[in-house]
Structure 1
């Protein structure tokens, strides 16, 4: 059966849905549009939905897979390190016949994408990392997401907390709570020991040789913008865009962000 979804926000109308079995794990994949494929790898929570990817579907085939343990994909308790997601996506992309793609990724998804790109560089044309996790930056540590009270979560997600509240249901919603607990459990398997990221990523991130856009919110409370310069210095072909009055949910919060990504992908 499909996992619970946030019925208030997640609108997948117009998308095609497919399923792939990857190492025994049923993986749900949505796609929309046509043209050169671009993969979107979501962050540590799927409740904000993916409406912003429609901007890219004007001239691209946008592919949105749910990570194992998230959304409509099955759980996989064997995944206890981000590297496990790398091999999951190598297998999935092979099954889908995707030899070369562009990747846009947010937060946890950006961590996965950076790790993937460091070992699969020839398969990536362009890379967009939005509010990325993954590189340990002691000078700008991210807060322990496991200790943020749920009633304060919206204050961390967007510069204007009222904007984040639109992603939350009114009152008690068992499906929403179940989804959140399940996805937090999946994230904890890879993030509990290394909540700041992978200490070894810094030494190999230079292997990412494709053009890369770093997109950050000026008021991101999860991954402070002070760390953006470190990412830019570590990536040989990167450019950095910092958006004012924007928090962690960059693509869903700032109306200019999807267009900035589209311009970079089609440049």
Structure 2
């Protein structure tokens, strides 16, 4: 199968940053095109491969930077316990390291929530935002698979991960991934063997990725419970600080998103100044896989904003 990183002229590159705990971590990323920096930010449990249909079209107009978040894809996990909201710190440092001009952030799912938080904390770093199916008003972890993994003791997950027993179960992992994939795409017939292979590749090949996924899920589950019970929650803080996001923002929502309803996008639009809202027809939660309409919406938004300056 074709190496995903070959889509980038220089292939896979590596950037070393300090994570939220002060540990050095190597962030894998790809870069294509020239011009204003545009970061493509994947969701939880995914990696840069999820943007496979978006890099080439967008890189005709922008300097597209496609990183793997820590512990996802080809970016190794850290060994220290995680701080809640570590993704915000790490994305900030990735942006600061790779560009000295305000960037465009295009985030999907948790990547969009992280982008929103960075725009609140560091508005000077961000020129424009595109938020796709952002979990800003969650009720629970959106899938049974996620909730099940979040309930497994982390020590057990870590043992299974480090033992690399998953390699023996790779066909089972791919079958489960295929079933879960049906939840996030509008047309299950569009799922290919190649994408299942690449989506599961980091989990099968790299120790630490399963543990990172489980850790982030457990943190997310706690934050959502805190949100629902009125306890301090980083999600509540992001909700309360929406007015701090003053940059032009495009909110995209998959019409067929079974994880988070379109009404959440409408609500976000109502609370987010200087935002536009657009529903992508025949599109599930993983909207980046519906390449043409998403790319068209992003480019139209960029051109409209440029024309109004």
Give TM-score scaled by structure 2 length: 0.74
Q: Deviations over 1:145-184 (max 9, x none)?
A: 51476453022110111223452149xx984652699545
Residue in structure 2 matching 1:199, options 215, 221, 236: 236
2:33 match = 33
Q: Decide whether the 8 Å contact of 2:13 with 2:28 is kept in 1.
A: yes
1:94 match = 96
Q: Decide whether the 8 Å contact of 1:246 with 1:254 is kept in 2.
A: no
Alignment RMSD (CA, Å):
2.8
1:4 match = none
Question: Unaligned 5+ residue runs, structure 2?
Answer: 19-23, 149-175, 225-233, 305-309
The alpha carbon displacement at 1:72 in A equals 1.3
The alpha carbon displacement at 1:207 in A equals 0.8
- Aligned with 1:158: secondary structure? coil
- Aligned with 1:142: secondary structure? coil
The alpha carbon displacement at 1:247 in A equals 0.4
**1:187 aligned onto 2:188:** no
Please list, as runs of the form range in 1=range in 2, the aligned pairs for 1:138-157 lying within 5 A after superposition.
138=139, 142-147=142-147, 150=177, 152-157=179-184
Q: Which has the higher contact order (CA 8 A, sep 6+)?
A: 1
1:163 match = 190
State the number of aligned residues: 257
- Aligned with 2:131: secondary structure? strand
Q: Deviations over 1:122-151 (max 9, x none)?
A: 221110001112x2344x983455147645
Question: Unaligned 5+ residue runs, structure 1?
Answer: 1-6
Residue in structure 1 matching 2:108, options 83, 106, 109: 106
Assess, with a 3 A threshold, how the Cα gap between structure 1 residues 190 and 79 changes in structure 2: closer, same or farther.
farther
- Aligned with 1:156: secondary structure? coil
2:257 match = 220
Residue in structure 2 matching 1:15, options 9, 12, 17: 9
Structure number with larger C-alpha Rg:
2
Q: Deviations over 1:40-65 (max 9, x none)?
A: 11112125352312111112110111
**1:238 aligned onto 2:275:** yes
The alpha carbon displacement at 1:241 in A equals 0.6
2:68 match = 66
Greater Cα offset, 183-192 or 25-34:
183-192
- Aligned with 1:67: secondary structure? coil
Q: Decide whether the 8 Å contact of 1:141 with 1:224 is kept in 2.
A: no
